[in-house]
Structures are given as C-alpha cells and as structure tokens.
Amino acid sequence: MKRGKGKSVMRVTVDVDRCSASGQCVLFAPNVFDQREEDGIVILLNPTPAPEDHAAVRQAAIACPTACIHVEET
C-alpha cells in the first residue's frame, strides 16, 4: 500500500461466487457495497471509491469472512 503524497487510486473487485452474504462490507462501506435483494450477495456499487471511502473499504476487505473483496491501490 503506497502512502505517498499524491492522490491514491483504489480499484476494488469482488468475487461473487465466493460471497457468503454476511453483509460485513455493507456495514463498513455502504457507499461502495450493497447486497442483492434476493440472496444478499454482494453488489459492487463503485469499483473506484472516493478517497474518503478508502479506509472503510480496507476495513471491509479485512472483515469479509470469505476474503472475496480485492483491493488494489496505486
């Protein structure tokens, strides 16, 4: 993870097949993740979250019980 002075870019991907619908990501970062109405599986609302959501997305990735949130920061 770079902590340089420039603006960091975050790219998020989710592995829908591994998702267990625990809802942890929605709790941490509701601007970035949602759940499908029918089965609670993750919906990625924004694959390039705004900087103010970055900390919450990192928390969501840590908390996800099936490690299906991948975060790349450049």
Partner 1 sequence: MSRSTLPTARQNPFDPPQELRLWQAEGPIRPMTYADGHQGWLVTGYAATRAVLGDPRFSVRSELAHSPLAKPTSLSVPPGFFLRMDPPEHTRYRRLLTGEFTVRRMKALEPRIEAIVADQLALMERHGSPSDLVEDFALPIPSLVICELLGVSYQDREKFQRDSAMLLNVEAEPKRRETAFADLMTFLSELAVRKRAEPEDDLLSGLAAQRDLTEQELAGIAFLLLIAGHETTANMLALGTFALLSNPARLAALRDAGPEAVAASVEELLRYLSVLFHVVRVALEDVEVEGRTIKAGESVTLYLAQANRDAERFAAPEELDLTHSVAGHLAFGYGIHQCLGQQLARVEMRIAYPALLRRFPGLRLAVGSEEVPLRTDMAIYGVHALPVAW
**One-letter-per-residue 3-state SS of the chain:** CCCCCCCCCEEEEECHHHCCCCCHHHHHCCCCEEECCCCCCEEECCCCCCHHHHHHHHHHHHHCCCCCEEEEEC
Q: Which of 13, 15, 31, 36 binds partner 1 (CB under 8 A)?
A: 36
Site string for partner 1, 51-70 (x = CB under 8 A): --------xx-xx-xxx---
When asked if residue 1 is in the footprint of partner 1 (CB under 8 A), the reply is no
List of residues contacting partner 1 (CB under 8 A): 20-23, 26-28, 30, 35-41, 59-60, 62-63, 65-67
